[in-house]
Chains A and B, each alone.
Chain A
Amino acid sequence: MVHDESERVAAELAGWLARARTGDRHAFARLVRSHQSRVRLQLRRLTRGDAALADDLAQETFVQAWLHLNEFRGDARLATWLHRIALTRFLQHVRRPQLPQEWCEPEDGDEPGHDPRAAEGLSRDVERALQALSEIQRLAVVHCFHLDLSHAEAAQVLGLPLGTLKSHLDRAKTRLRELLGAWQPESAA
């Protein structure tokens, strides 16, 4: 049933995409509506909680997508392509050719712009635990678990080799397992 629903959504998206490619702006507006949340969430994470900047970059991401829609080959999900454009727009904004090297280093203190008190219960604790990770580990977790991308898709979006992404993810999960121990059932912990 869920599979049928996801297939129906995918078919609907493919239809809008085909119409948008012919210049149908209403179809493109549908695509924007269906992807705006995940692209804005990704950019809020990248901009460390700066919602206004994230929305500006998200808007530029969709404008870029509209202008280059015919270059989308369809060998990846549209969401993956949009996330990649969003990351590129962000890197252009911070004038970096790739993810900053210092993001691979563990950080001290809370990430600015993310107030763990704003979240409740599990979300608050996970958010706090995420602060203990390096930026790249945090991005790997966010792309795989919050944006629901596969490992290959997340590696493609972040411009990392698949093995590198998996190793960041493994290290992040080891650390998170320690920090979120209280949330794990007795049998698993």
Chain B
Amino acid sequence: MNDHLLSDDQVLDALLRAAAPAALADDGFVTRTMAAVDAANAALPARRRTAAPSPLAIARAIAAEQRRHDVQARSWRWAMAGVAVGYLLMLVSVAASPSGLHLGATSPSQFVPLAAMTAIGALWVAWRTLRSV
């Protein structure tokens, strides 16, 4: 049964393939198409190429980068100096206080000025760092 159906199917397939239209002759189609291809090529915008940078432009870019680096380094040094001065001021103010300098921590409130100064210093460093980026 299956063989019969398969054979029937194959016969129909062969009929349909045999009835395929004949191949079309070129008749100048390729020539016309290639002319259209050439026209399409001509209509394409010229490819933009990035020009190689001149030595002068390279030198200017390096100098600008060096300047940015110097500014950043100077900002960092000022930031560190600010933190050091802040600590120094704190120590001086504590030493000059009427009760004198106690190294032993007797109450947590003694840490408030230290924490405040540290916070201010940290914020200042952060602000300078962010500005220099």
A173 cross-chain contacts in B, Cβ below 8 A: 9, 12
A27 CB, min distance to chain B CBs, angstroms:
11
> In the complex, how many residues of chain B place their beta carbon closer than 8 angstroms to a beta carbon of chain A?
28
Q: Cβ of A59 and Cβ of B33 under 8 Å apart?
A: yes
A104 at interface by CB-CB < 8 Å: no
B115 at interface by CB-CB < 8 Å: no
Q: Cβ of A29 and Cβ of B34 under 8 Å apart?
A: yes
A29 cross-chain contacts in B, Cβ below 8 A: 30, 34
B131 cross-chain contacts in A, Cβ below 8 A: none
B18 at interface by CB-CB < 8 Å: yes
Q: How far, in whole Å, are A148 and B21 apart by their CA atoms in the complex?
A: 12
Q: Cβ of A177 and Cβ of B19 under 8 Å apart?
A: no
B46 CB, min distance to chain A CBs, angstroms:
15
Q: Cβ of A122 and Cβ of B15 under 8 Å apart?
A: yes
Interface residues on A, range: 35 or more
B26 at interface by CB-CB < 8 Å: yes
Query: CB < 8 Å: which of A38, A55, A127, A188 contacts B7?
Result: A188
A41 at interface by CB-CB < 8 Å: yes
In the complex formed, the residue of B with least CB distance to A141 is: B16
B81 at interface by CB-CB < 8 Å: no
A148 cross-chain contacts in B, Cβ below 8 A: 17, 20
A91 at interface by CB-CB < 8 Å: no
Interface-facing stretch out of A73-81, A154-162, A178-186? A178-186
Task: Write 14 A-B pairs (CB below 8 A) sorted by A numbering.
Answer: A36-B26, A36-B29, A41-B23, A41-B24, A119-B19, A126-B15, A145-B16, A146-B17, A148-B17, A183-B15, A184-B11, A184-B15, A185-B11, A188-B4
A interface residue numbers (CB < 8 A to B): 25, 28-29, 32-33, 36-38, 40-41, 55, 58-60, 62-63, 66-67, 119, 122-123, 125-127, 141, 145-146, 148, 173, 176-177, 180, 183-185, 187-189
